[in-house]
Structure 1
Amino acid sequence: MKLHFLALLLLFCFHLSGQNPAFDKIDRFLSELNQKHNFSGSVLVSWKGQVFKKGYGLSDREAKTAFTPQTISCIGSVTKQFTGAAILKLEMMGKLKVEDPISKYFPNVPADKQGITLHHLLTHSAGFPGAIGDDYASITTEEFVKMAMDQPLLFSPGKAYEYSNVGYSLLGIILEQVSKEPYEAFLNKYLFKPAGMTQTGYVLPGFKSANVATGYRGERNWGKINEKNWAKDGPYWHLRANGGILSTVEELYKWHQALLGEKILSKEAKAKYYGRHIEEGEGAGSYYGYGWAIFPTPRQTTLIAHNGGNGIYFCDFLRYVDEDLTVILMTNATKREYHQLATQCARTCILPDFVPELKINDPSKAIPVDQSQYDGLIKNFIQTISSGDEKEIRAMIDSLFVPRFKEDFPMEQHLKVLTQLGGEVKNLELATINVHDRGFMINFTGSPLTIEMELDGGKIAGIMVN
Structure 2
Amino acid sequence: MNTKLQERIQELMEQHHFSGSIYAKSNNKEIKEVLKLSHGYANRSEQIRNQENTRFGIASGCKLFTAIAICQLVEQKKLAFTTTIEECLSAYSFPYLDPSITVHQLLTHTSGIPDYFDEEVMNDFEELWVQLPMYHIRRLEDFLPLFQNEPMKHPAGSKFHYSNAGYILLGLIVEQVSQMAFQEYVEVHIFAKAGMTDSGYFEMDNLPERTALGYIETETGYRTNVYSLPARGGSDGGAYVTAIDMMKLWEELIEGGLLSTELTDLLLTPHVQVSEGLAYGYGLWITQHKDTQQIEKYVLMGYDPGVNFRALFYPDHSLLAVVCSNLSDGAFEVINEIEQEIKFK
Report the TM-score, using the length of structure 1 for normalisation: 0.63
Matches within 5 A, 1:198-277: 198-203=197-202, 209-218=208-217, 220-223=221-224, 230=231, 235=232, 239-277=233-271
User: What SS does structure 1 have at the residue aligned with 2:194?
Assistant: coil
User: What SS does structure 1 have at the residue aligned with 2:186?
Assistant: helix
Q: How many Å separate the matches in 2 of 1:169 and 1:334?
A: 23
Which amino acid is the alignment partner of residue 203 of structure 1?
F
Matches within 5 A, 1:91-110: 91-107=74-90, 109-110=94-95
Post-superposition offset of 1:228: 6.4
User: What SS does structure 1 have at the residue aligned with 2:193?
Assistant: coil
Indicate the structure with greater helix content: 1
Post-superposition offset of 1:343: 2.1
Q: How many Å separate the matches in 1 of 2:208 and 2:225?
A: 8
Decide whether aligned partners of structure 1 residues 151 and 208 sit closer, same or farther in structure 2, where only a CA change above 3 A counts: closer
> Where does residue 28 of structure 1 map in the other structure?
7
User: What SS does structure 1 have at the residue aligned with 2:106?
Assistant: helix
> Where does residue 45 of structure 2 map in the other structure?
62
Aligned residues: 320
Q: How many Å separate the matches in 1 of 2:96 and 2:57?
A: 37
Post-superposition offset of 1:42: 0.9
Alignment counterpart, residue 22 of structure 2, candidates 30, 43, 50: 43
Alignment counterpart, residue 127 of structure 1, candidates 112, 119, 124: 112
> Where does residue 74 of structure 1 map in the other structure?
57
> Where does residue 288 of structure 2 map in the other structure?
296
Checking the alignment, whether the CA contact within 8 Å between 1:199 and 1:207 is kept in structure 2 is no
Which amino acid is the alignment partner of residue 290 of structure 1?
Y
Checking the alignment, whether the CA contact within 8 Å between 2:96 and 2:150 is kept in structure 1 is no
Checking the alignment, whether the CA contact within 8 Å between 2:140 and 2:171 is kept in structure 1 is no
Checking the alignment, whether the CA contact within 8 Å between 1:25 and 1:348 is kept in structure 2 is no
Higher RCO (C-alpha under 8 Å, 6+ residues apart): 2
Larger Rg: 1
> Where does residue 343 of structure 1 map in the other structure?
336
Q: How many Å separate the matches in 1 of 2:295 and 2:153?
A: 34
> Where does residue 70 of structure 2 map in the other structure?
87
Structure 1 position 173 matched with structure 2 position 172 = yes
Checking the alignment, whether the CA contact within 8 Å between 1:311 and 1:334 is kept in structure 2 is yes
Decide whether aligned partners of structure 1 residues 167 and 33 sit closer, same or farther in structure 2, where only a CA change above 3 A counts: same
Matches within 5 A, 1:275-354: 275-280=269-274, 283-297=275-289, 301-335=295-329, 338-352=331-345
Q: How many Å separate the matches in 2 of 1:226 and 1:194?
A: 33
User: What SS does structure 2 have at the residue aligned with 1:328?
Assistant: strand
Decide whether aligned partners of structure 1 residues 27 and 226 sit closer, same or farther in structure 2, where only a CA change above 3 A counts: farther
Which amino acid is the alignment partner of residue 93 of structure 1?
Q
Which amino acid is the alignment partner of residue 279 of structure 1?
Q
Post-superposition offset of 1:26: 3.8
**Unaligned ranges ≥5, structure 2:** 118-127
Q: How many Å separate the matches in 1 of 2:226 and 2:135?
A: 13
Q: How many Å separate the matches in 2 of 1:351 and 1:153?
A: 43
User: More displaced, 39-48 or 57-66?
Assistant: 57-66
Post-superposition offset of 1:203: 3.0
